[in-house]
Amino acid sequence: MGLILIPTSVSVLPVQAFASTSSPHDMSGMVMAGTSVITPYHSKMNMAGMAGLGVTTTNWKYVGPPLPQYEVSILNTVSNDTDHGHKMQTPNCMTPPTASQVLGAVEYVQTTSAAVAKYKNLSAAVADGYIPITSTIYPVVHYINLKYMNKQDLLNPTHIDSLVYAFTPYGPVLVAAMYLMPGRGSGPMPYGCLVQWHAHTNLCYSNTNFQISGFLPCPFGTHYDGPTPMMTHVWQVPVPGGPLAIDPSDLQVVQAAIMAQEQGLAPAANPIPVKYTSQIVSSQ
């Protein structure tokens, strides 16, 4: 979810599972699209053709350390508010991808994940020019590198426009790489419905630092600048829906970040309670 606070979750219901022991970049368990039954999770919009590449998510469950109730409430509230302005570029995209599109999407995930591995530590991203475009008070923060916002670097894994970090009680975690369109145009879809684009239509920007800091109707000190550019994610933590999920909830993103820290897939600045060591529960 791009320059914004991440909206409500969507999910996929096909055949293979994203194994709990695998890296979030490991795509080896995925089936060829067209053999799967894909079902939209969110009833308000048709995302039946969304990504996930055969990832089963019906039994996704968080079993890590509990978050404070006030944080859970904030994460759910902001996700719901963000979802009200969620606009899919192709809301009825259900065409089964071709075999070449599936292979291309797998390579896209792998090359993107390899390219952002150097940004697992937030300090590396900041040193490379990424700046926050959403409020750093909120637990999920989007960073953007303005030098990559051009048509020449579209979907270029070596010039990724935006990075998303979740701030858990155990330190920041890189949760997603995000590609953004440099203007208001539509995003390319070389992998068919496997990689889709969305925008947000209800976000307000600060008049002072131009960070996204509210929702319509815009509060005092903020302004509306129209819909955001189209955006698409490659998730770096085990969120429901897999690495190409349209948008899990912010709560699920933070929870997935903690699970990644528990499994040693993401750095943890603070110790995690051993008794809560989690397993990602998924159906086979």
Q: pLDDT digits over 250-280, tens only?
A: 999 999 999 999 999 999 999 988 755 445 4
Of all helices (H) and strands (E), which one includes residue 95? none
| Structural domain contains residue 108 | yes
Of all helices (H) and strands (E), which one includes residue 179? strand 171-180
| Structural domain contains residue 225 | yes
Residue 4 has pLDDT above 50, yes or no: no
Lowest mean pLDDT among 43-47, 130-134, 190-194, 213-217: 43-47
With cut-offs at 50, 70 and 90, classify the pLDDT of residue 25: very low
Name the residue among 279, 273, 7, 281 with its Cα closest to residue 140. Answer: 7
Three-state SS sequence of 97-114: CCHHHHHHHHHHHHHHHH
| Structural domain contains residue 284 | no
| Structural domain contains residue 111 | yes
Return the pLDDT at 284.
Answer: 33
* Helices 69-83, 250-262: inter-axial angle, 10-degree rounding: 130
Burial 58-67 (b: 16+ CB within 10 A, else e): eebebebbeb
| Structural domain contains residue 148 | yes
- How many domains are there within the chain? 1
Q: By the 8 A CB rule, do 6 and 141 touch?
A: no
With cut-offs at 50, 70 and 90, classify the pLDDT of residue 218: very high
User: For residue 217, is the peptide bond before it cis, meaning its omega torsion is within 30 degrees of 0?
Assistant: yes
Name the 3-class secondary structure at 72.
helix
| Structural domain contains residue 36 | no
Residue 59 has pLDDT above 80, yes or no: no
Integer-rounded Cα Rg, in Å, for the chain is: 17
| Structural domain contains residue 74 | yes
| Structural domain contains residue 39 | no
Residue numbers of the domain that contains 171? 69-276
Return the pLDDT at 246.
Answer: 83
Residue 221, number of CB atoms within 10 A of its CB: 11
Q: Can you tell me which residue has the tokens 């690495």?
A: 243
